């Protein structure tokens, strides 16, 4: 089933009205598209967001994603801009999975975004300890899961972004191996560092 979902942010922020599926273009991958054009593409997706649910085409695989973001990412990009940045980033991740070399049409469908407050962010990330950080993030994501698969915010996989150093210098991502179907292990921890992070997210999700 192909579902879209509203954006939810922790700390009392208003959810985005409507539902959406994140889509992208090839130009997003090679850097030829400027940010303004990327933003327009995301806005077009949001304008189409109130469509009815539809079945995925035969041969399509949808990964319904909850995106967790800690306070360090919001602080860096700014409260007013972080949502659009995250939508554009996931737009690029989705397009990476549309590459013909994969031999399948894989759609990354964003159903929920949660931005954590500083206190919770500090609890999850253990600086210099990727294993403990990933374990904390996966446990947190599991607790956010909706009880019913019919819920529009039910997710198959959780992606977590932080600008904190959770591992050795240069570590960009950390993920369990073959955990997509496990309720607690279907998650990835990613160091956010601009739009190039989309390739890190896609790579780490591929491990799961």
Q: Is position 43 annotated as part of the catalytic site?
A: no
Query: Alpha-carbon distance 41 to 25, whole Å?
Result: 9
Q: Residue 125: which of 176, 71, 175 has the closest Cα?
A: 71
Place of tokens 């995250």: 86
Closest to 172 measured CA to CA, from 131, 151, 203: 203
Q: What is the pairing mode between strands 173-174 and 187-191?
A: antiparallel
Q: In terms of Cα–Cα distance, which of 36, 182, 4 is closest to 108?
A: 4
Tell me which of 64, 95, 153, 204 is the catalytic residue: 204
Helix-helix angle 35-47:82-96, to 10 degrees: 90
Cα 166 to Cα 163: distance, rounded to the nearest angstrom: 9
Give the integer Cα–Cα distance in Å for 167 and 55: 40
Give the residue numbers marked as catalytic. Answer: 204
């Amino acid at each position: 089933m192909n579902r879209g979902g509203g954006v939810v942010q922790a700390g009392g922020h208003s959810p985005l009205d409507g539902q959406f599926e994140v889509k992208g273009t090839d130009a997003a991958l090679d850097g030829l598209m400027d940010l303004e054009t990327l933003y327009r593409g995301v806005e077009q997706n949001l304008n189409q967001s109130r469509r009815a649910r539809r079945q995925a085409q035969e041969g399509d695989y949808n990964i319904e994603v909850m995106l967790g973001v800690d306070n360090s990412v919001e602080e860096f990009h700014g409260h007013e801009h972080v949502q659009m940045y995250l939508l554009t980033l996931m737009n690029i991740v989705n397009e990476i999975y549309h590459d013909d070399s994969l031999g399948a049409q894989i759609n990354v469908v964003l159903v929920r975004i949660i931005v954590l407050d500083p206190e919770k962010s500090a609890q999850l990330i253990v600086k210099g300890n990727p294993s403990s950080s990933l374990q904390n993030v996966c446990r947190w994501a599991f607790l956010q899961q909706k009880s019913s698969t019919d819920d529009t915010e039910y997710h198959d996989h959780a992606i977590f972004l932080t600008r904190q150093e959770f591992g050795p210098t240069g570590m960009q991502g950390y993920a369990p191996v073959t955990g997509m179907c496990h309720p607690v292990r279907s998650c990835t921890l990613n160091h956010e560092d601009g739009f190039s992070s989309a390739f890190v997210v896609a790579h780490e999700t591929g491990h799961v």
